[in-house]
Amino acid sequence: MSLTMPPGPLAGSPGETVNFTIDGPKHRLFMQDFPRRVRARFAGETVLDTERGKFLHETGLLPVLYVPEEDVRTDLLEQTEHSTHCPFKGDAAYWTLRVGDRAAENAVWAYPEPLPTASWLRGHMAFYWGRMDAWFDEDEEVRGHLRDPFHRVDARATSRRVRVLRGDDVLADTTRAKLLSETGLRNRFYIPADDVNTDLLTRSGTRSVCPYKGEATYWSLRDGAADVAWSYEEPLEDAAKVAGHLSFDHDDLTVEAGPPAP
């Protein structure tokens, strides 16, 4: 969401406010060493364990981890007849991962004969993230996906007066919000729970996971729309300042932010 997504420099359309041009294809590939040990587990087995993983950044896509074939439990793989063609990388071959009576069909792929412009993919394999049971970055389990080193999350205290309205109803009113900026996304205000009229809200069963902020729980209007707000009760370190704060976004709501205090 940084280098290869607008307005990143390797995106297909990086923007016009630059003093440079990139002489190369509009669809761009950039491979980079991933700096830490990565492991994946499936059906109780460690199916990859590498300190030599590489991130492939590709225009319009999230980075994908490729690992040397030698760091993969190839004895658990069964090559299938499935194949796909990428005009930028070549023809991909696929393998099913099988451990005991569990199988992940076509969960692993590689480019045995990549195009010359992507020759560095030869000898590397990639895994569909969601088909594994668990992933580890060093000894910490990772949910969502591995963190892109070019992706940032910053939370800052702000004295702006922030109000959240549903018609004439005031759902929140604060001058103690946190402003969270995240690469590729618009700024979000996070409001302390004490400054939210929680009598108008109820927790929903919705959950989502962000690899940069953590697990979010959601809130709905008691008499209306679902999932109008979310909060991170135990955020990851990059978003620690928004712990216990709520952020609002829904078509039925208006979020007003006044000028900063002088």
- Written as six digits, the tokens of 45 are 């087995």
pTM, two decimal places: 0.86
Residue 218 reports pLDDT greater than 90: yes
Residue 261: how many CB atoms within 10 A of its CB?
9
- Written as six digits, the tokens of 126 are 């990639």
CA pseudo-torsion sign 75, 69, 102, 84: negative
Across all residues in the chain, what is the average pLDDT?
93
What digits encode the pLDDT tens for the residues 168-211? 899 999 999 999 999 888 999 999 999 999 999 999 999 999 99
* Reported confidence tier of residue 17, pLDDT bands at 50, 70, 90: confident
What's domain 153-257's superfamily in CATH?
Domain of unknown function (DUF427) (2.170.150.40)
Per-residue model confidence (pLDDT) at position 12: 72
CATH architecture classification, 29-142? Beta Complex (2.170)
Residues found in the chain:
262
List, by residue range, all CATH 2.170.150.40 domains of the chain.
29-142, 153-257
What digits encode the pLDDT tens for the residues 56-102? 999 988 899 999 999 999 999 999 999 999 999 999 999 999 999 99
Residue 25 reports pLDDT greater than 90: no
